[in-house]
Amino acid sequence: MSNHMIGKVLQGRYQVVQTLSAGVFGETYVAVDIENPENPKCVVKQLKVISSQPSYLQTLRLRFLTETETLRQLGHHKQIPQLISCFEEHERFYLVQEFIEGHALTAELPIDRNLGYLWSESQVINFLQDVLLILDFVHSQGVIHCDIKPENLIRRACDNKLVLIDFGSIQSIDFEIIDEILPLDSIPVSSLGYIPPEQFIGLTQPNSDIYALGMIAIQAMTGVTPLQLKVDPQTNEILWRSPSTPVSDYLATIISQMIRYNYEDRFHSARVALRALQQMPLETQYSYIVDVDFTVSSEDSEKNQPQTKLNTNPKDSTSPNSSPLLKGMKVGLVANSLVMGFGTYFIIHNTPSYSEKEALYKATEEYQAGDLDRAIALAKSIPSNSNVYPDAQASIEEWQKQWHNAAEQYKAAEKAFQENRWSDVLRAASQVPDILHWQTKTNKLVQQAQVNIEAQTKDLLTKAYEKASLKDFSGALDYLSQIPEESSAGAIVQQKLTEYNHKKSVRAAYFLQKAYNKAAEGDFKSAVEFLQQVPKDTPVYATAQEKLVEYTQKQHVVQAKSQKIASSKAPAFTNMKKPLSNSNYAKNLESFDPSNQMEEVNIR
């Protein structure tokens, strides 16, 4: 890895401090945001550029813009890093993402069956559920990660949650054949073993990510890395389970289906795999094994129910004979799962047809594109005896709820836009669910609102600077406080707020000092005028108010005395006493002692 980037500042604010990795798609660095007073860390990815030809750069530029928008949408999930910025500089393309404090899952996996702590079944289930929830979201955005491996799962220090990182290999979900074969020498060594067979020939599927996740689960339970596992030469299936592997038949069956050689035999989605795991608690109450025969008899053909029989001879769940890797037409399930009804879920041989899977994905595309009625119609066309049917029904319910929410939030953003409430536009837009149709509509409002916020910020900053140049720091602070939080000038605003607050306090002390000086000369009128200029929210304001009361009273005494002298009529002016001067009179006033006087402070 090259360290030539260390110390460089990108876009005038991101200073590279560490090299993280280098791969097929570019290099990754840790940087600090020097424009932010706290200098937070972030991750900067420089995309690899192999040519300077204008046509190539333009193509790459378009792909860059498309993929950054995808990353922006993915960053809405709490367990995916947020996209902070993206930019082009010197014909190089950069992504800036949230830095996740924590450690890679690699640190938690056993390095050998005999060296290291093997995960328990409950730990594996929790891990699978956590990551499948993330993948369900990722796939719902029309994206396949393509590089699920322990290095790309970070255990976040603040909440112990797993965070999925490094979407540099992402591609859109596409069921068409892609004429792009993945060359072996271009794959990072750390990815080998986790990549499924179809990905090498350009047939990547959403359940390609599920395959990789299953391989990590096997590594956690066995201490054996994917490249160390043996493969059945006849079926190409991975032979991972042994009598000493502490795993139930049910979980072993789930994991085996996650890693099937043929992607059509795997779970078709993360949501279906998740549903299978959620049925796990029902398994543990009985040790009897149920043989489920998936052959449909003529009597049950209309109900489409499997024939079942209960084998009352307990069977050791760790026996090789009960391994879920067997290719027969039967699978061992515990008797308690009968409560759920055998028509609910079969994880091996009730795989939905491709057309049903395609229908649901097509419905999802229509939903994302903005045709809710078409999406619902497609989902409803899936027959009730299909394994996809529960997923389709759940999707319809979720779509309708999210669609209504999106429409309401867009309406709120649109109203705020019409009323020139730019910050409210951004707040409403941030609440719009991840539906491409509504996100696209909202983004148009957001972009214009952001432009207006920047224009408003520029105007308010100019006015603040003008007030500050006249030493009216209260006025300057008032303009700064009107600048929206969403403005890109946030760092400058915070800096000026601190500066002007300090200068306001210094100037307040200056006015108080001048008041003391005038009072010492007996000029209470001028002293009162200076005190009236002391701004609120300054350290000396309370003292200034006390002195204002005191000096106002003394000013009245002086005025009354002057009026009394002026109105008195003496017959012979020579016999009158010489009037006291203001300074001599002031000395005779009761206990006036301008203590704690401060030196005058020059304000620039």
In which domain, by residue range, is 77 found? Answer: 9-98
Does 296 reside within a domain? no
Pair 409, 439 in one domain: yes
560: its two tokens:
């009354």
Q: Please state the pTM of the whole predicted model.
A: 0.47
Q: How far does CA 263 lie from the centroid of its chain? A: 31
Does 163 reside within a domain? yes
Pair 42, 165 in one domain: no
Pair 83, 119 in one domain: no
Report the chain's C-alpha Rg in angstroms: 37
* Tens digit of each residue's pLDDT (9 = 90 or more) over 144-157: 888 899 989 999 99
Phi, psi angle pair for 482, to nearest 5°: -85, -10
**CA gap 589, 555 in Å, rounded:** 11
**CA gap 457, 463 in Å, rounded:** 10
Name residues whose C-beta falls within 8 Å of residue 248's C-beta, 6 or more positions apart in sequence: 121, 283, 284, 317
**CA gap 241, 259 in Å, rounded:** 12
Distances in Å between the Cα of 307 and the Cα atoms of 287, 295, 304, 376 are 20, 7, 10, 33
* Tens digit of each residue's pLDDT (9 = 90 or more) over 565-586: 877 755 544 444 455 444 444 4
Amino acid 338: pLDDT? 25
Of residues 81, 77, 104, the one with CA closest to residue 20: 104
Does 436 reside within a domain? yes
Q: How many domains does the chain have?
A: 4
Pair 379, 483 in one domain: yes
Pair 125, 261 in one domain: yes
What's at 87, amino acid-wise? F
Which long-range contacts link 21-29 to residues 24+ away (Cβ below 8 Å)? 23/168, 23/188, 24/48, 24/169, 24/186, 24/187, 24/188, 25/168, 25/169, 26/168, 27/1, 27/2, 28/166, 29/5
Residue listed under structure tokens 């041989």: 349
Pair 74, 165 in one domain: no
Pair 154, 236 in one domain: yes
Amino acid 113: pLDDT? 66
For the chain, what is the largest distance between any 2 Cα atoms, rounded to a whole number of angstroms?
141
> Which domain CATH number covers 280?
1.10.510.10
Residues with catalytic function: 147
> Which domain CATH number covers 26?
3.30.200.20
Name residues whose C-beta falls within 8 Å of residue 558's C-beta, 6 or more positions apart in sequence: 522, 524, 582, 585
Does 327 reside within a domain? no
Q: What is the DSSP string of 9-65?
A: EETTTEEEEEEEEEETTEEEEEEEETTSTT--EEEEEEEP-----HHHHHHHHHHHH
**CA gap 135, 257 in Å, rounded:** 17
Does 379 reside within a domain? yes
Pair 439, 386 in one domain: yes
Name residues whose C-beta falls within 8 Å of residue 392's C-beta, 6 or more positions apart in sequence: 360, 363, 379, 380, 382
Does 338 reside within a domain? no
Dihedral (CA of 378, 383, 388, 390) sign: positive
Amino acid 321: pLDDT? 36
Name residues whose C-beta falls within 8 Å of residue 592's C-beta, 6 or more positions apart in sequence: 519, 554, 586
Which of 82, 98, 114 is the last residue in one of the domains?
98
Pair 85, 232 in one domain: no
Pair 191, 236 in one domain: yes
Neighbours of 86 (CB within 10 A): 19
Which of 98, 114, 139 is the last residue in one of the domains?
98
Amino acid 281: pLDDT? 54
Amino acid 335: pLDDT? 26
Taking 70 as the pLDDT cut, the residues of the chain under it are 1-3, 22-25, 66, 112-116, 168-190, 281-355, 569-604
Using left for φ > 0, alpha for ψ between -120 and 50, and beta otherwise, residue 307 falls in beta
Distances in Å between the Cα of 598 and the Cα atoms of 504, 506, 537, 545, 587 are 16, 11, 19, 17, 20
Does 269 reside within a domain? yes
Which of 98, 121, 148 is the last residue in one of the domains?
98
Pair 108, 250 in one domain: yes
Pair 465, 573 in one domain: no
Does 433 reside within a domain? yes
